[in-house]
C-alpha cells in the first residue's frame, strides 16, 4: 500500500506545485504594471493627462462659473467699499486716497479673476516641474519578481511535504486576491487625484473672486493652499514609490517561500497605505483646512 500512497502523494504534490507556480507567476504582474504607471500618471499636467476632459472643464469654468464669479466679485468689492467708509467715523472724515486704494484693489481683483485659469495652471506647472526633475533621480525598478529572488522555487516546492504545500497554495490564493484588490486601490488613488484636480479647477473663479476681500479673503487663500497641496501631492507620491522600489529590490533570498510572498504583499500594502496618506499629508503641509 506504500507505493499507492506514494503515487497519490506525488500526484497531489504535482497538482499543488503547479497551482502554486501558476498563482505566483502572475500574482504581481498587475501590481507591477500599476505601480510602474504611477510615475506617468502623476508626472502629467491636467492638460496632458486628458486633453478632452481638460478642454471641457476649461469651457465650463470660463463660460459657466466665471459669470457667477463676476457677481460675487461685485458683491465682495462693494462690501469692501462700505466697510472702508464705515471705518472712517460713519462716512465722516473721508480721505480721497481711500477711493484710489479701493479702485486699485478692485482692478487687481478683476485681473485675478479674469486670469484665474492661467494662475491655476501655472501652479500645477510649477509643481509638475518639481516632479519631473525628481522622477529621474528617485524612481527605480518597482517590479516584484519572485523568480529573481528565488530562481529555484519549483525545486524547493517539490521538496516540501504535502501539508505545507497545501497551506502555501491557500496562502498564494489569498495573496493573489489581495493583490488584485490593491491594484484597484492604486488605480483609485492615481486616477482619483486627477479627477479631484479637474473638479477643483472647474470652480476656480469663485474662490479667486473673494481673494482680496477683507471678510471673504480666506476663501481664496485656502483655495490656493489646496491647489498647492494637490500639485505637490504628486511629489510625495513619487517619494513613496521610490521608497517602495528600494524595499522590493532589497528582498533577501530566503528558504521560506511563504515569508517571501507575505513580505512582498506587505510592501505593497504599505505602499497603498502611504499613497492614501499623501493627500492628507500634503494638505497639512500647506495648512489647507
| Residue found under cell 488613488 | 189
DSSP secondary structure string for all residues of 117-141: HHHHHHHHHHHHHHHHHHHHHH---
Query: How many angstroms separate the CA atoms of 120 and 204, rounded?
Result: 8
Burial class, 104, CB count within 10 angstroms (exposed 0-12 / middle 13-18 / buried 19+): exposed
CA-nearest of 21, 26, 42, 10 to 238 is 42
Alpha-carbon distance values, 102 to 84, 206, 260 (Å): 9, 20, 68
CA-nearest of 190, 201, 254 to 40 is 190
Digit-by-digit pLDDT tens for the chain (289 residues) are 555 656 666 667 667 767 666 666 666 666 777 777 777 777 788 888 888 889 999 999 889 888 998 888 888 888 887 777 776 655 556 667 777 888 888 888 889 888 889 988 888 888 888 887 777 666 556 566 665 556 666 676 666 776 777 777 777 777 777 777 878 888 888 888 889 899 999 888 888 888 877 777 778 888 888 888 888 888 888 888 877 777 776 665 555 667 777 777 787 788 888 888 888 778 777 764 4
Amino acid at each position: 500500500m506504500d507505493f499507492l500512497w506514494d503515487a497519490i502523494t506525488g500526484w497531489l504534490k504535482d497538482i499543488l506545485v503547479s497551482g502554486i507556480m501558476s498563482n505566483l507567476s502572475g500574482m504581481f504582474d498587475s501590481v507591477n504594471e500599476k505601480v510602474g504607471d504611477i510615475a506617468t500618471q502623476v508626472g502629467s499636467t491636467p492638460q496632458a493627462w486628458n486633453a478632452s476632459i481638460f478642454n471641457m472643464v476649461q469651457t465650463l469654468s470660463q463660460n459657466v462659473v466665471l459669470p457667477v464669479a463676476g457677481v460675487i466679485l461685485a458683491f465682495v468689492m462693494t462690501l469692501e467699499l462700505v466697510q472702508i467708509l464705515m471705518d472712517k467715523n460713519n462716512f465722516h472724515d473721508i480721505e480721497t486716497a481711500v477711493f484710489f486704494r479701493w479702485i486699485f484693489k478692485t482692478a487687481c481683483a478683476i485681473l485675478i479673476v479674469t486670469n484665474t485659469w492661467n494662475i491655476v495652471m501655472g501652479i500645477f506647472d510649477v509643481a509638475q516641474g518639481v516632479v519631473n526633475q525628481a522622477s529621474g533621480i528617485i524612481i527605480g525598478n518597482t517590479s516584484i519578481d519572485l523568480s529573481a529572488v528565488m530562481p529555484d522555487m519549483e525545486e524547493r516546492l517539490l521538496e516540501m511535504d504535502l501539508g505545507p504545500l497545501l497551506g502555501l497554495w491557500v496562502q498564494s490564493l489569498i495573496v493573489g486576491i489581495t493583490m488584485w484588490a490593491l491594484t484597484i486601490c492604486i488605480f483609485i488613488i492615481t486616477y482619483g487625484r486627477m479627477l479631484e484636480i479637474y473638479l477643483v479647477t472647474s470652480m476656480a473663479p469663485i474662490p479667486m473672486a473673494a481673494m482680496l476681500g477683507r471678510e471673504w479673503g480666506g476663501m481664496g487663500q485656502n483655495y490656493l493652499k489646496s491647489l498647492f497641496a494637490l500639485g505637490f501631492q504628486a511629489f510625495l507620491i513619487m517619494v513613496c514609490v521610490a521608497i517602495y522600489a528600494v524595499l522590493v529590490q532589497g528582498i533577501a533570498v530566503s528558504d521560506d517561500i511563504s515569508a517571501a510572498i507575505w513580505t512582498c504583499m506587505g510592501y505593497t500594502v504599505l505602499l497603498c497605505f502611504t499613497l492614501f496618506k499623501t493627500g492628507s499629508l500634503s494638505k497639512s503641509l500647506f495648512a489647507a483646512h
